[in-house]
A and B are shown apart, each in its own frame.
Chain A
């Protein structure tokens, strides 16, 4: 796909008071590149992994994958990510931080309407942000938006609002681009979900299926092309693949590794393979033996044969990691040498630490694809270094139960995020998912500085120093980044590889169209 576009997106990102001007999170490829000009009309049936009686339509509380897919049809956030994981404007046309990153000004796009015909105003944005951070019922995005002070939201005019933050946050834009921070009208009721998204609410049966109809007044040019979307829950992998093979659905997400070749061999189907920044680390608690000794952590990182992990766990659909996350952050430390398996050095480090013939328990659970397999492969690789890893598999209820975030040696999974938003989620004290209990004061200081630095170059410098620390002695073993592998009928056009880690071009059905 070429990097040209008729309405090329230009991002002039805020450098000390600069502004963002532009059109949206389009792909960088002309939409009709693959199969002629896009055709309007038709109905897309999507088989989505998971789903349950607990399904919801709430804009700010998606939990299951079908929830995510629904949220992305119904609502828009102020900003969004394009398929290269760069921030683009959505409902806001400008989002500008002050020089000290303590005040952010948001200018809304003109003429956008909710599904019920009401215009989107600054009041609606204030209502939505307050709903997310409400201390009585915090929503999924509350942690990321912790800097927002509900009392500090100022309406300047119907299209402009100012956020006076509690603490400086130079990367607030990343949070405003999260799909679970969508904008809804004042008085929003999840039972009658109204947003500005490409598709409006049709019907909803928790655990079964939901339907959505085309929003004719959608603010993006030409989109959406389809008349109707049907989102069907599929907790079982076999059933989902069979539905695609049998022609009962047009697209599915999360094609199981074992089925990739089956789908490739079928001329009526296509595989959509996206490189992502999603990672499934091993988590070592840096405050508990044996991992409180940095030499043991380094030894464990040297035990992993990353190439073999990617080959065996991901079937080759992924890339190796270097114990660092946020690989698509502009400040990602590409220059740090790639860590490779070095059993000799690992043994030496363990010997120095007095931890020869170490035995550890690794807690795993099938909460994400590949976790259990990765644990087993690691246990096997560790034998060479004289380390015995006892893999203990628990069910998801127990994994997320009372010991969650307290396991000494376990695993987790994360989608693509930029560096600072990721540290806020998992790598500083007080972060909600700090599973490694990483709390180095120097690191914390670097992160705090970076968060309040608006200048991108200076910020990148600080981020690089922080990454160096994590690379040397952090508690994560980031062995690889898994591709997102989905599949669809050849009749479906417009879906392209996407770096976010959210399946099916971030469930971007607005870009999809059906061949005749």
Chain B
């Protein structure tokens, strides 16, 4: 298993490097350069020339890429082209904010959704199951934007003014700022996990080894927790991983809606500004997140399922 993990990590590093090349080329291929993006309509030829000189935009692409890569290998991702701040200082707090938001959403949604899915499966075809099915289907069909707006109207701008509608501040996020964005994400990723958990659980509950356990006279609780759940967790872990990886991208819309000071918000801005060092840093981070989450999901299904665990040895 360790060998598998190491192998996957090496592949991960290679993928990251490929991502950095693609992102660099894609950003360079976008129409307009950083100087034009900064000055926008104020871009007179004289001002463009002065700014391009200042930002070294006239250097050849290859040398721009390698000077960035060289910096990265010495743990210096450079400085933002548009405000001159070191990238680490600029995106650092935003990464923390986004991770806090994603982790909160993940920590709340995963157990909750798995519990709901299991419960729904156990009460299969009863009223509670049907209600859960309808609600999760509706939520899964709604874009997170709509869910977010609805939450804002209900909890922030309507008659109930319990929570802030948007984030206002200088980058420090408190608990109340987190509630609505996190809830939106929970409602966006939860339904899939609920549905997957239910489907898997139903299959497992009908399987022979669960029948066997029941025939042995084990209490239903033990059957469920000791025999059924561990077998269902494997396949569901893959879905959870997919959903969590989706969070890294889905967070963009939610951050925009709530003006949440995270990486999604910063990434959109950086792409608009053609701020290459910031785009690179954030794109690599999101790619790394995908890789790590998927690796973790594989490891979880290995640990949860004894058959696969032994097979890989």
Contacts and interface: CB of A to CB of B under 8 A. Distances in A.
Interface of A: 45, 52-56, 61, 63, 135-140, 142-143, 203, 205-209, 232, 234-236, 238-239, 242-243, 245-249, 367, 394-398, 400-402, 404, 432-433
Interface string B64-86: 00000000000000001011010
B170 A246 contact: no
Interface in B141-178: 149, 152, 156-157, 161, 164-166, 168-171
B166 A397 contact: no
B44 A138 contact: yes
24 contacts: A53-B90, A53-B266, A53-B278, A54-B37, A54-B275, A63-B42, A135-B46, A136-B50, A143-B44, A208-B171, A235-B256, A236-B257, A238-B149, A238-B257, A242-B156, A242-B157, A246-B166, A248-B168, A394-B31, A397-B30, A397-B274, A398-B32, A400-B41, A401-B31
Given A208-B169, A236-B259, A404-B43, 5 more contacts: A54-B37, A137-B47, A205-B171, A246-B164, A396-B272
A397 B29 CA distance: 11
Contacts of B156: 242, 245-246
B31 A398 contact: yes
A142 B50 CA distance: 13
A140 B50 CA distance: 12
B40 A400 contact: yes
A138 B256 contact: no
A400 B37 CA distance: 8
- Classify the interface of chain A: helix, strand, loop or mixed: loop
B125 interface: no
B172 to A, nearest CB: 10
Contact of B273 (A53, A56, A400, A433): A53
Contacts of A400: 32, 36-37, 40-41, 43
Contacts of A54: 37-38, 82-83, 273, 275
B116 to A, nearest CB: 30
A135 B45 CA distance: 12
A468 to B, nearest CB: 29
B179 interface: no
B161 A401 contact: no
Contacts of A245: 156-157, 165
B258 interface: yes
B269 A235 contact: yes
Contacts of A243: 165-166, 168, 259
A136 B51 CA distance: 10
Interface in B1-57: 30-32, 36-47, 50
A265 to B, nearest CB: 13
B261 interface: yes
Interface in B265-281: 266, 269-270, 272-275, 278
Contact of B169 (A52, A209, A396, A402): A209
B166 A239 contact: yes
A236 B256 contact: yes
B275 A53 contact: yes
Contact of B31 (A206, A207, A402): A402
A249 B168 contact: yes
A394 B269 CA distance: 17
Contacts of B39: 63
A63 B273 CA distance: 12
Contacts of A205: 170-171
Given A45-B168, A432-B44, A246 B269 contact: no
A436 to B, nearest CB: 16
Contacts of B31: 394-395, 397-398, 401-402
B46 A138 contact: yes
B152 A242 contact: yes
Nearest to B47: A138
Contacts of A247: 161
Contacts of A246: 152, 156-157, 161, 164-166
A432 B261 CA distance: 37
B166 A138 contact: no
Given A137-B50, A367-B41, A397-B272, A53 B80 contact: yes
A140 B42 contact: yes
A53 B157 contact: no
Nearest to B33: A401
B37 to A, nearest CB: 6
A401 B257 contact: no
Contacts of A238: 149, 257
Contacts of A206: 83, 85
B168 A397 contact: no
B161 A53 contact: no
Contacts of B83: 53-56, 206
Nearest to A242: B165
Interface string B217-230: 00000000000000
A243 B161 CA distance: 12
B170 A52 contact: no
B33 to A, nearest CB: 8
Contact of A63 (B40, B149, B272): B40
Contacts of A232: 168
A56 B90 CA distance: 15
B266 A396 contact: no
A278 to B, nearest CB: 13
A142 B46 contact: yes
A402 B42 CA distance: 14
Name the 4 nearest CB pairs between A and B, nearest first.
A246-B165, A401-B32, A398-B31, A397-B32
A457 to B, nearest CB: 34
Nearest to B158: A245
Interface in B243-296: 256-259, 261, 266, 269-270, 272-275, 278
Given A63-B38, A246-B156, A142 B44 contact: yes
